[in-house]
Structure 1
Amino acid sequence: MAFKRFITSGVLGSIFLYCWPINSCLAGISVEYASPMGDENWRMSGNRLRCGLSLTVPNYGIAYFEQYAAKPSHFILSKWQQVERRLPAVVFAAPPVWKPGGNSYLIAKTSVNPGEYGLYLPRDPAMKLLTYLAQGYQTRFQYQSEQGFAVTVSLSPANFQKVYAKYQRCLGNLLPFDYASVRESILLFNTDSDELSDAAKQQLKKVAEYCRADPMVKRVKVAGYTDDTGRKSYNNAVSEGRAKSVANYLLSLGVQQSRLSVTWYGVQNPVAPNDTEEGKAANRRVVIKLYK
C-alpha cells in the first residue's frame, strides 16, 4: 500500500502513527468522524476583515480555514468535547473513496491540544491542506484518543469547489492593513498651516476605509495641537483648524458625522520640548484614535 510505505519512510514522532491502519497499534475499536457522503455542507463567511471556510463534522466539531486582514491564513479543527492533554496527530491527503488507488501525501505532524482551538495549523500546512481539498483529495487527521482509540477525522472534497471559489474571492477583497495600523494615527503639519500633506491624506483614506469595513468602530476622535509659537488664542485657533480639516476630509471619505468627535488643545499636551525645531515639528499635529 502506497500510504503504508509513505508513513514508514518518515519520522512521525509517535509510535502509534507508524501503524497502518492506525488501529493495528491499538487494542479495541477505531472511531471515524466524517460528514455522510452527499451531505457535506461547506460554508463560506466573510467581509473585508475576515474570511472563513468551514465544515461541521457530525459528533466531533468544526473544521475551518480562516484569514484576517493583513494576517497569514491558518486552519483549526475544533473539538466540541475538548481533550485534557496534548495528543500527537498526523494530517495527510488521500484519494477520495470514489477514486481509490492513488497515492497519499503527508501534510503535517501536529497535535490535538486542550482548549477551544484543538488542532491548529499555521499558514504553510493550512495552504497545503486547502490545495489538496481543491484538487479533490480527502484530508484526514489521525491520533490516538485519551481512551486509547484510534481516531480519524475526514474532510471530504465533495461540494467544495463552488464554496472554495467564493472563499478565494473573499481573500482577494481583504483589507491590506489591520486595525493596529489605523487605531491611532498622528498627522504632522507645517507652521501656521492646516493643509493636509499627501501622506496625511493616504493615512486618512486607510482610516476611512477601515471604518467602512468595521461596524464595531463606534467613535473616531480627532484632536488638534500646535507648538508654542504665537499667542494662546492664536494657537487654539490653529489647532481647531487642523482638527476640522482632518474631520472634513474624513467626512468627504464617507465617515459618518455621528462617529466623529472633534476637539483641539492648542499648546497643551506636547509630545516633545518646544525648544528645538524638531520638538516643535512633533507638536504640530492631529491625533486620530478609533474606539470600538
Structure 2
Amino acid sequence: MNGTVDGFSYGIVTPVAAYVMACLGAALGLRCVARTLHYAQGRKPAWLALGAACLGCGIWTMHFIGMIGFQVEQTAITYNVPLTVLSLVVAIVVVSVGVFIVGYRGAAPVPLAAAGVLTGLGVAAMHYLGMAAMHLDGELHYNVPVVVLSVLIAVGAATAALWAAATIRGSLPSFGASLIMGVAVSGMHYTGMAAVSVHVHTGAGHTSNGHTPTSLLLPMLIGPVVFLLVAAVIVMFDPVLILGDGDWSRGDRVRRPVRPAPVEPSAFEPRSGDPSRPQSHRR
C-alpha cells in the first residue's frame, strides 16, 4: 500500500533551520573563494579547500536537517550510517572540483559551465545517496520528471554559487548572494523530496529499535555544524578580508614599486649648458 508521507513533521522548524545552514555554508564558501580571487595574500589552495568544505558541509547539513522532518506514518525510518557519511564525503569532493576549477580558471564561460555542471550533479548525487541511506519497511519510488527538475535546479544553483564567488566583492553583496543560494539549495532539496512516494510492505514492519531520525542524525550533524562555526570565526577575523571590505585599492592588491617623480631643477640652480645661467664674477 502507499504510505502517507509527511515531509514537515516538525512544522516550519526544520525547513528554517535547514535554510539557515545552507546560507551559512554558502556565505563562508563565497568569502573563502573570493579571497583567493580578489586578494594577493594568503595560500590559495588552503582557502579554496576551506571554501569547498564550507559549501559541501552547508549543503549536506541542510539536507539532513530537512530529513529530520521526513516521516512515513506506516513505518519507522532509520539510516545507514556509512552511506550517510559517504554522502558528506561526496558533497565535499564534488564541490571541491568546481571550486578549484573556478579558483584557478576564473569565471570564463567554459570553465564556469563545466564546474557548475560537475558540482550540480555531485550535489544531486549527494541528495539521492542520502535518500538511499534510508531504511524503512517499503520501497521508495521517484517521479522522474520531478527528479530531472531537481537536478537542473542543483546545476543552476551550483553555477550561480561559483559565479558569485568569482565575481562578487564585499560582505554585503556576498551576504545577499548567500541568501539566494540558500533558497536555491533548499528548493533543490524539497523539489527532490516532492518526487518521492513510498510503497509500504504489509507484514511485521520495520522496527527502529528505539532509534528515531532525530536520534540518528543529530549526532552526525554536530561535526559539520561545529566545523562551519569554526570556519566562520576564521573568516570573520581574517585581516585581509577585513581590510579589503573597506577599500579594495589598499592592502589587498599586489604592491608595485613606485618610481620617484623626476625632480625639476630649482629656478636658482644653474643648468649645465644653459647660456643664460648667471656667470660668476671675479674681483
User: Given the two structures, how large is their TM-score scaled by the length of structure 2?
Assistant: 0.29
- From the two aligned structures, give the one with the greater helix fraction: 2
The structure that is strand-richer by fraction is 1
Q: Which has the higher contact order (CA 8 A, sep 6+)?
A: 2
What TM-score comes out, normalization by structure 1 length?
Answer: 0.28
